[in-house]
Amino acid sequence: MSEERPVYLRLRDRIAAMILDGTVSDGDPLPSVRSLAAECGANPLTVAKAYQTFQEEGLVVVKRGVGMFVASGAATKLRTNERETFLKERWPEICAHMRRLGLQPEDLVERALA
pLDDT digits 0-9 by tens, 21-78: 999 999 999 999 999 999 989 999 999 999 999 999 999 999 988 999 999 999 999 9
Asked if residue 104 is part of any domain, the answer here is: yes
* Residue 69 neighbours by CB under 8 Å, 6+ apart: 27, 28, 29, 30, 60, 61, 62, 63
Measure the CA–CA gap between 43 and 64, rounded to whole angstroms: 21
62 and 21 fall within a common domain:
yes
Global pTM reads 0.79
Counting the structural domains of the chain, the total is 2
Asked if residue 1 is part of any domain, the answer here is: no
* Eight-class DSSP state of 68: E
Residues 81-108 have pLDDT tens digits of 999 999 999 999 999 999 999 999 888 8
- CA neighbor of 14 nearest in space, from 26, 73, 41: 41
Asked if residue 38 is part of any domain, the answer here is: yes
**Which domain does 99 fall in, by range?**
75-113
Which region holds residue 27: left if phi is over 0, alpha if psi is between -120 and 50, else beta? left
Q: Quick one: pLDDT at residue 1?
A: 44
53 and 90 fall within a common domain:
no
15 and 65 fall within a common domain:
yes
Residues 55-71 have pLDDT tens digits of 999 999 999 889 999 99
105 and 82 fall within a common domain:
yes
CB crowding 30-59: b at 16 or more within 10 Å, else e:
bbebeebbeebebeeebbbbbbebbeeeeb
